[in-house]
Structure 1
Amino acid sequence: MGSTVLSLRIDGELLDRLKGHAAKRGMSVQDYVARTLVRDDFDERFKSAVEETERFYGAA
């Protein structure tokens, strides 16, 4: 899988908070943001799969 560049413009306060969160985990800001996006994407796909399964089998 290749990679692509994504540029974001964020304010200083948000960047400072992101730096703090990343530092607590020993990560760079870029890695922290990417991991957060991947996790959120997984959560959304998982939720979708659960809803589809419930529709197929009927909710309990």
Structure 2
Amino acid sequence: MGSEVLSLRLDGELLDRIRQHAARRGMTVQDYVVRLLVRDDFDERFQASVDATAELGTWGLPQAAAPAGDGARLPQAAAPPGW
């Protein structure tokens, strides 16, 4: 994986704030901005995974854990005798 160059034009006030945040963490501005971008990318991918999982619905969840609603539910498997 190679590296590329990204050039940004920032408002002076915003750049000063970014410098302050980076300095508090003992980081360069470049490292701070890259870390923010990586974290934001992870948050987006994580949320997409959560949303995709939610779309699967309540299959396999006990009825008490299933969200209320008037939609059709998949039949729940009966517990083996003695459970």
Q: Same fold (TM over 0.5)?
A: yes
TM-score, length basis structure 1: 0.92
Distance in 1 between residues matched to 2:55 and 2:40, nearest whole Å: 23
Deviation at 1:21, TM superposition (A): 0.2
Unmatched 5+ residue regions in structure 2? 59-66, 68-83
Distance in 2 between residues matched to 1:9 and 1:45, nearest whole Å: 27
Q: Which runs of at least 4 in structure 1 moved beyond 2 Å after TM superposition?
A: none
Larger-Rg structure: 2
- Tell me which protein shows more helix as a share of its residues: 1
CA RMSD of aligned residues (A): 1.0
| Equivalences, count | 59
- The Cα offsets for residues 7-60 of structure 1, whole Å up to 9 and x where unpaired, read as 00001100000000000000000000000000000000000001001102x164
Unmatched 5+ residue regions in structure 1? none
Report the identity percentage.
68
